[in-house]
Chains A and B, each alone.
Chain A
Amino acid sequence: MTAPAYNFAYLDEQTKRMIRRAILKAIAVPGYQVPFASREMPMPYGWGTGGVQVTASILGQKDVLKVIDQGADDTTNAVSIRQFFEKTAGVETTTETLAATVIQTRHRIPETTLQGHQVLVYQVPIPEPLRFLEPRETETRKMHALAEYGLMHVKLYEDIARHGHIATTYAYPVLVAGRYVMDPSPTPKFDNPKMDDCAALQLFGAGREKRIYAIPPHTKVVSLDFEDHPFEVTRFDRPCALCGAQGSYLDEVVMDDRGARMFVCSDTDFCESRQENGHRGPLNQEAAE
């Protein structure tokens, strides 16, 4: 099997046109889930086929692609998807957030503020924010049509009543442009504020569920909350052990079987560029010399 047997970026042009039409509709109706005829891809459903189809449809020969999973460029599935596009599209790839024109992501939004020339493509497993409240698509589509979102507020309220907190820490629902409640994909709620008024175009692809949705640049995105229980992001009470960053999202790394832990930036490009600029965290002091 050799790559030249396939079209640029794998998908045939007809399929790309179909997906682009869905993307345009999604941009025109921010937060609305547009059904599209998702194709079988040569990687499994649930492993980013929606994001891959969106990326394949918008990628041009001059684009520079970055792929991250859990914020990192070197996680196995990110490596696999990046290699897929290197092979089928031959585009330049990068790990530098600001050097990329298209960033495909799973579970994170980069720490570096995105710019107007960039597109962020999210891989989405379950696009329907109401799915775990109402399993039927026939019902949830009606609820969206009528902006009938009471059930979601009841769920968040029950969380507070039971746990004292809104117990949703990722895939935290947002209201887009004052109309549609949207699932931001399973990004931690830490990343939710980055979606609001973002300069970059944000596209969401769900391959198995056959849905595409979008947040156009500079759109109002509000995390659902209550006046007396306002939305709060997860905060870490320590800096990154490697680059010393305060206020970045941290991964917990288990050091031994006696409870030792270290916390490092989940965004590997952010962390490495800080270290290159001389920033050091508490566990990285000797390396500075």
Chain B
Amino acid sequence: MIRVSGLDIVFGKGTPLEKQALRGIDFSVPEHEFVSVIGSNGAGKSTLLSAIAGDVLPQAGRIEIGGVDVTRSPTAIRAGKVARVFQDPLAGSCGTLSIEENLALAAARGTKRMLGLAITRNRREMFRQRLTELGLGLEGRLDDQMGLLSGGQRQALALVMATLAGADVLLLDEHTAALDPAMAEFVLDLTQRVVQERKVTTLMVTHSMRQALDHGDRTVMLHEGRIILDVSGHERSNLSVEDLIQMFRDVRGQEIDDDSLLIE
């Protein structure tokens, strides 16, 4: 579903702040696979997601989604196939629009937006049904402003929005990092459920090794713009967090001093 080859991304090229975020990444994800991505700060996890989404254009390499070369196409064009949930709960929805308006925006993703009414009876019925499934009691608050919801509620809605129009690829960028533990748990469970029900190819960036091992079918570790670990199947199911840290040491041959990698 996703095929990334020879991907190079440099920020601030030619300036004193030049930073090579990704170095020749080769990486592919078959249809319906759920991949968790870990790595220390600045490893290039979010850059990889942004590159697939289209927010960052690469200096070299090629990105294919569903067999189509999208290397040069802008975010809005790719959005028909790619849905995203951001780390910041405020970033994924419009605070001053109502819940149903936000949902309607997401429902029209990938279609040509014309002058038909955005909120029709059919759509509202569908929204109500999807929100009922969520179990947060939001189905009765379709008219409320998005800004009135808590971060967790917004993140849960962002997940619903991501899958409303049916996407081939779901990109989750540390989408539980800004939430309190209980809400993070809820959103993670919801993620698991949604991914299974919708059978959508998923890339989930996370800071937590535990999360990375507990969720999904495959785990990829990035360091300094390179993939240094790629495990799945048996090998992965027998892994513990300690093993993961040990493997990281082996591959890199150095101590890990980044605490964030160890956060549970």
Genuine A/B complex: no
Question: B interface vs A, CB < 8 Å?
Answer: none
- The residues of A with any CB-CB pair to B shorter than 8 Å are none
